[in-house]
Structure 1
Amino acid sequence: MNPYVHRTLVMQLQAGATDRFPVLAHLSYDADDPFAVTVVFSHDGRVLARWRLDREMLQDGLRRPVGTGDVRFRPVSTGAWAELRMEFFGAARPDGGRHHAVVFAWAPAVEAFLRRTHDVVAPGQERFRVDGFLAEVIAEAERGGG
C-alpha cells in the first residue's frame, strides 16, 4: 500500500475583515509521520503558508470546536453546506497583534481525505519511531545545530 496520501482542495481564505477568496490547499499525509497532516496554502503559484496539523485534532474539528493555541478548528453549518473553519495565528505584527487568517473547507472533502489516511494508518495504530528521531537529534547536535 502506498504510504502517502495527497489531495488538493479549493478552500476559502478570509484574512482580517476581507471577503473570502479561493486558495489551493495541498494536503499530504506520510505514514512515516503518522500523527501529522501537512497543508500548504497557495494562491497564484505562491505559497502563502505551510502548517503541520495534528491528524486527530483535524478529525475532531469536523465534529466539535478544538484547539486553544495557534491552530483552532470548528464545524460550521449553513443549511446543507457543512464547512470546517480553520483558524491560524502567526507571528506578532508591529502593532502588537498577531497575524491571523481563517480558512473554510468543505467538510466532506476533508473527511474523505482523512478516511484515506486512515486506510494507510488506522487511528490508534500510529507508531512513533523513537530510534529514527533520536538519530536525527544526535546528528543535528553533532553538526552544531542543537
Structure 2
Amino acid sequence: MHSTVQGHMVMHLVVSNELSFRIMVDLEYDAADPFAVRFTFHLPGGDPVGWVFARELVVDGISRPSGEGDVRIHPVGAELSEVRIVLHSPEGAAVLRAGTPALIDFLARTDRLVAMGEETAAGDLDAQLASILAAPGCENAG
C-alpha cells in the first residue's frame, strides 16, 4: 500500500488584475504526517518554493474563506470553480489562483489514504508519545 499521494497542477501567480503567470505546482501528502499537504511552486526563473498547508485548511478553503496569519484560502465566484490562495512571508505576499477540480481530486485521493478525522489513528501514537517524552525538559513531568 502506498503511503503517499502525489499530484501536479497548474496555478496562476497573480501579479496584477491584468497579469498572471502559469506555474507548475507539485502536491504531496504523506500518511506519516497526516495533517499536512506540501505544495512545491515552480516559479518562473527561480528555485522551487515549498509550503506546508494543513489539509483541513485546503479542504475548507474550497467552499468558504479559511485561514489566518500567513496562509488564507477562499473560493472565487459563485460556482466554486476556483480558489485564491494568499501566502504571506517577511518578503511580502503572493497571490495564486487554482482550479478547484484538481485540488478536489488530490484531496479525495488523500482521503482514501487517511480519511479526514482519522489522522490520529493513522500515526503511530506510541512512537509519537515516546518522542515527546524523550524531548529535553520532559524528564520528570509527572
**Shorter-chain TM band:** 0.7 to 0.9
Given residue 67 of structure 1, which amino acid in structure 2 is its aligned partner?
Answer: G
Call closer, same or farther: CA 1:133–1:4 in 2, change over 3 Å.
Answer: farther
Distance in 2, matches of 1:133 and 1:18, equals: 51
RMSD: 2.5
Judged with a 3 Å threshold, the aligned counterparts in structure 2 of structure 1 residues 136 and 113 are, in CA distance, closer, same or farther, namely same
Q: Counterpart in 1 of 2:98?
A: 105
Q: Structure 1 CA distance, aligned partners of 2:105 and 2:95?
A: 21
Which ranges of structure 2 fall in alignment gaps of 5 or more residues?
Answer: 137-142
* 1:83 matches 2:82: yes
Query: Is residue 2:134 matched to residue 1:135?
Result: no
TM-score (structure 2 length as normaliser)? 0.81
Distance 2:41 2:66 in 1: 21
CA-CA distance at 1:3 after TM superposition: 1.0
Specify which of 106, 112, 123 is matched with residue 116 of structure 2: 123
Q: 2 CA distance for matches of 1:126 and 1:16?
A: 38
**Deviation readout 1:90-129 (Å, 9 max, x if unpaired):** 01x5xxxxx1001111101100000000000001110154
Matches of 1:129 and 1:61, distance apart in 2: 29
Paired letter, 1:49 = V
Partner of residue 65, structure 1: 65
Residue 10, structure 1, aligned to residue 10, structure 2: yes
Q: Would you say the 8 A contact 2:62–2:80 is kept in 1?
A: no
Q: What is the TM-score when the length of structure 1 is the normalising length?
A: 0.79
Is this contact kept in 1: 2:63–2:80, CA < 8 A? no
User: How many correspondences in the alignment?
Assistant: 133
* Alignment match, 1:20: 20
Cα deviation, 1:49-103, whole Å, max 9, x if unaligned, reads: 211100011000000001121000000127x671011100001x5xxxxx10011
